[in-house]
Structure 1
Amino acid sequence: MNEPEPSVRRAKLSQCFKEMPLRDDQEHVLVLSGLWNISMAQPDDPEFPALGIFECMAKLIHRGIIDQNWLLRGQNIYIPYYAAHIIGSYTMDNPQFAEKAVKSGVILPLMELLRGKMSWVEQRVAVRALGHLASHEKTFEAVVVHEVEVISLAMEIASNCLEVVYKEFVGIKARKRPKYHCDLLTRGVGELELQSRKAEEWASQLQCWSLYLLNCFASKERCLNLICNTEFLHNLCGMWGGLVNLTSPAGIGLLRTLCSSKTGRENVANSRQVMESICNVSRSSDDWQNMAIDCLLLLLKDPETRYGVIDIAASSLVDLVELRSLGESKMVGETISQTLLQDYYKIKFGFLKLKSQEAEKALEELWELRVENIKRDKLMSEQDMKERQVLVGKLKKQGNQKFWTGKIEKACKIYSKALELCPLNFRKERIVLYSNRAQCYLLLKNPAAAISDTTRALCLSGTVSPHSKSLWRRSQAYDMKGLAKESLMDCLMFINSRIKSEHTRRVRIPYYAARMINKQMNATWLFANAKSKLCIKKEKTVDEYESKGEYQLQEMMDAKNMGFPGKPMI
């Protein structure tokens, strides 16, 4: 590496890459660690790929899999991990390097790691590398050779990896954790807490990278019937990467891709559980809210899935029709309105009957809001507007008085009356009215209605400066429904909005919000379900053991009472 003459240096490196898989040298790990650092820092440098690094890495992985004695000698057990990681780093954004890697034979060794020939740690870097290879047009075909197996393994890993990581690392005592896993996770300098934190991050990446690999196939409409397995789609709804990996769209990203194909749309639309999950994300503070809305719009634009989706999602989408922008997407609410109302006349005049009365009512309300009320407001004079504003203000005060005297249902009705009369361009007044009515619904134990009203208030307030009270109230409503992730996201946004507010810059996080975050962080912990399942299995094992013990004791008692030979009478 320190050779000053470039030609001599390249010749030595090329020779080193050829000989490394054949030699037993305890310094291999140090060399690979250095190559790992270089591949991460300079992934576009063509020198090492041109000198045979991919073939070297492929052979090292292969040797680690077939030669257990060599693998367990010294520090060789670290080698397959570093080798697969180096392949993934060089092929991430460089199609030319990816082609060279495929020609060097990296696919088969990576497939062995993906099959779990070593551990979840190596699976993580293998699925990462295969995902990068599958993302490039020219190397995708090389991965397609193993299409069914790759997809099946990726689905299995995505569904079960959190349980595996918890069972094999996070959930066991520190002294039982594989030392090389600990060293790789923390670079040899971490304590128990850091190990667990990094394991959570890596487990999330393993799941998300598996979904990314599946996404590469789904985007090309390959094996969609296999990917659209009903159980897997249900599991997909809960795959969100956790707070440790918010940069990945995870499950909702794959659902968005599936909704771009006819087969995918049919399977997604046929699952009420999946549809309801998408609706929840569409009305949340999730970073991928826009993808959930895209899913619903794609399903609505398909005549084959449109009316089934309207039955389930209409009431959720109507809450979003006044959303102006979401990230880079503009006129989001207007797009939703047009999509929902494009054939409303069929329903309005009795040519079409929906299965859900709730959906029909939601569309009727949307028509009233976006058509009739706009016409009404255009016909109102400036004086009429002022009078309406005064009247709405009086009704709001009346509603507040009823609320503070404990007459919640009456307050709710007054707020509803005020909303009916309030012109659409009085956005601030409508935000407060929706939010106040949502508080009434919370006290009346109607979280669904509270979510609807708070979502409408938040759409009116916009995403740049969301109405903080509505965020907190929606967080409470989602908590009442047992939707911990949605509740957590809203609560975090609520705290963020308070911190940003000039008036509350010095105010600490409210105790009630901190308590909610603590509750939902525990509920949404990446390994929460894995821990629960493991505890249930342990309880079953104990129960079976105890039952077996009781049965054996009963046999002994029966034998004693019946005077079986060999059983002394006591």
Structure 2
Amino acid sequence: MNKVQFAEKAIKSVVILPLMELLRGKISWVEQRVAVRALGHLASHDTTFEAIAVHEVEIIQLAMKIASTCLDEVYDKFIAVKDSKRLKYHCDLLTRGLGGLEIENTKAEEWAIQLQCWSLYLINCFACKERSLSLICKTEFLKDLCGMWGGLANRTSPAGVGLIRTLCQTKTGTTSVADLKEVIECLCNLSRSSDDWQYTAVDSLLLILKDPDTRYKVIDIVAPILVDLVELGSFGDTITQGLLQDYHKIKYGNLKLKSERGEKALGEVWDLKVERKKREKLMSKQEVGERKVLVGKLKKNGNLRFWSGDIEEAVMKYSEALSLCPLRMRKQRLVLYSNRAQCNLVLRNPEAAISDATRALCLSNAVNPHGKSLWRRSQAYDMKGLAKESLMDCLVFVSDWLKSETENCTKIPYYAARMINKQMNATWPFSSAKSKR
């Protein structure tokens, strides 16, 4: 039914009522998965949407409930059930008759995540048309969306963040999301990660910043995060515009933010993207050369301080080098940021380490990101207890490691394997359900 002609035939065949019965859970979660998928296809076509919209409120309520509870239900009714007591037809469907406990569990996990993601897709079809937004934008559901992730088994789905972005394209949704600090912080974490949906999170934040009614509700939280991304290729310019759209009111007017940290972040963006660029355009080649030599000396001095155990002094040397290093010297700045990130890790300052590692990664090649910075950010996220972000960085680090031509290696480093194992356990879709038993 993903094609219009088949969807129209399905409507004429009166499939909606039987699908609604399955959606209500008349049989089991396995049939719910089929119903959600089918209704999502029907809702995605303009010619069949109105036939679905007859049941709009009930569909959205059921889809929201399924998205929020399906992982617990699949765990309780299948994963946690002893092999001998599982419904045979469920096992046969999951394994195509081949059997095997491991295959059953793996497939059940995949189907559970699909059930959640397809429920969100169904809700998204209504949100795109600005239907029932007040129902969708309930506080508890928006908070739940932060934890809804397609996982490694379903990385093509934007899951919770995809729906959040759709909501942020509407006035009601933007206001509701902006009022929830937990959701904003989740988007901030995702925006500085290796997750496939990083740009979706950034776009959501920019939509909130663009709205004058919500901008100053979130800017104190968002600005210190997005400042790390202003050199993220051409997208960095879009982020810069979003942050500085009314900076003149702060710089030259009487507008004050709630926190000094927010104002400092905006000032840093202004200096980096405006003032510093102007100054460096006036630099002679001789001055650039002199700075290059000085930066090299400061970096070397910082390295010596680091290896001698004087970490705080090393941070100062790297910071001084960064303040002098011309913006065009991207490779040198990348290394300085990454080295300072390592210092912050040693000092047990994960937030600063994430900031520096992110800036280093923005300066690196998107196709071949800086491996050390990925690993350092993964460690920093681990310190903060953000398992998903740590896992994604570690996976990209390992992928880059294995593809490296300069390293004569065919095995995953032991320390990275340990990190992956730890975070895979922490991000297991059923970890929350298991803890409740």
Q: TM-score, normalised by structure 2?
A: 0.99
Give, as a single letter, the amino acid of the residue that structure 2 aligns with 1:174. Answer: D
Verify the 8 A CA contact 1:155 1:232 in the aligned structure 2: yes
Distance 2:38 2:168 in 1: 26
Q: Which residue of structure 1 lines up, in the alignment, with residue 7 of structure 2?
A: 98
Within the candidate set 300, 303, 313, 1:400 is matched to 303
Equivalence for 1:356? 259
Q: Which amino acid aligns with 2:59?
A: V
Q: 2:78 aligns with which of 141, 163, 169?
A: 169
CA distances 1:348-377 after superposition (whole Å, capped 9, x unpaired): 124211112211110011111111111121
The 5 Å alignment of 1:101-500 reads 101-324=10-233, 331-500=234-403
Shift of 1:299: 1.0
Distance 1:488 1:449 in 2: 19
The one-letter code sitting in structure 2 at the alignment partner of 1:160 is T
Q: Which runs of 5+ in 1 are unaligned?
A: 1-90, 325-330, 535-570
Larger Rg: 1
Structure 2, unaligned runs of 5 or more: none
SS of structure 1 residue aligned to 2:26: coil
Q: CA deviation at 1:301?
A: 1.1
1:566 aligns with none
CA distance in 1, matches of 2:430, 2:184: 24
Q: How many Å apart are 1:462 and its aligned residue?
A: 2.9
Quick one: distance in 1 between partners of 2:251 and 2:95?
63
- Return the alpha-carbon distance in structure 2 between the equivalents of residues 261 and 462 of structure 1: 34
Give the superposition deviation at 1:195: 0.4
Partner Cα separation in structure 2 for residue 172 and residue 232 of structure 1: 28
Tell me the alpha carbon deviations over residues 492-540 of structure 1, each in whole angstroms, 9 at most, x when there is no partner.
0001111111012534211110000000000001111111112xxxxxx
Q: How big is the shift at 1:461? A: 0.3
AA aligned opposite 1:336: I
| Paired letter, 2:11 | V
Give secondary structure in 2 for the equivalent of 1:319: helix
Q: How does the TM-score come out when normalised to structure 1?
A: 0.76
Q: Match of 1:434, as an amino acid?
A: Y
Q: Report if the CA contact (8 A) 1:163-1:530 is conserved.
A: yes
Distance 2:398 2:229 in 1: 23
**Alpha-carbon distance in 1 for matches of 2:7, 2:269:** 51
The alignment of Structure 1 onto Structure 2 pairs a total of residues equal to 437
CA distance in 1 between counterparts of 2:80 and 2:216 reads: 46
Q: Which amino acid aligns with 2:267?
A: E
Percent of paired sites with the same residue: 70
Residues 499 and 505 in structure 1, CA contact (< 8 A), matched pair in contact too: no
CA distance, structure 1, for counterparts of residue 408 and residue 115 of structure 2: 39
Give, in whole Å, the separation in 1 of the partners of 2:258 and 2:349: 23
Rounded to whole Å, the distance in 2 between the matches of 1:332 and 1:501 is 27
SS at match of 1:475: helix
Give CA deviations for 1:423-466 in whole Å, capped at 9, x if unaligned. 00000100000001011111111111110000000000031111
Question: 1:104 offset after TM fit, Å?
Answer: 1.4
Q: Distance in 2 between matches of 1:392 and 1:371?
A: 22
Q: Runs of 4+ in structure 1 displaced over 3 angstroms? A: none
Displacement after TM superposition at 1:190 (Å): 2.3
Amino acid at match of 2:185: E
Does the 8 A contact of 1:323 with 1:462 survive in 2? no
**Structure 1 counterpart of 2:30, which letter?**
V
Say what the alpha-carbon RMSD is for the aligned residues: 0.9
Alpha-carbon distance in structure 1 between the residues aligned to 2:73 and 2:36: 16
- Secondary structure, aligned partner of 1:279: helix
Equivalent position amino acid for 2:329 in 1: F
Q: Secondary structure at the match of 1:367?
A: helix
Deviations 1:86-145 (A, max 9, x none): xxxxx11x2122122112110010000000011000000000000000001011111111
Question: Secondary structure of 2:229's match?
Answer: coil
How far does residue 343 in structure 1 lie from its aligned partner after superposition? Answer: 1.1
Using the alignment, how far apart are the partners of 1:468 and 1:396 within structure 2?
Answer: 19
Instruction: Find 1:526's aligned residue among 429, 432, 435.
Output: 429
Distance, in Å, in 2 between the alignment partners of 1:497 and 1:178 is: 43
Query: Distance in 1 between the 2:390 and 2:366 partners?
Result: 17
Q: Per the alignment, in what secondary structure is the counterpart of residue 465 of structure 1?
A: coil
Q: Which amino acid aligns with 1:273?
A: E
| C-alpha displacement of 1:258 | 0.6
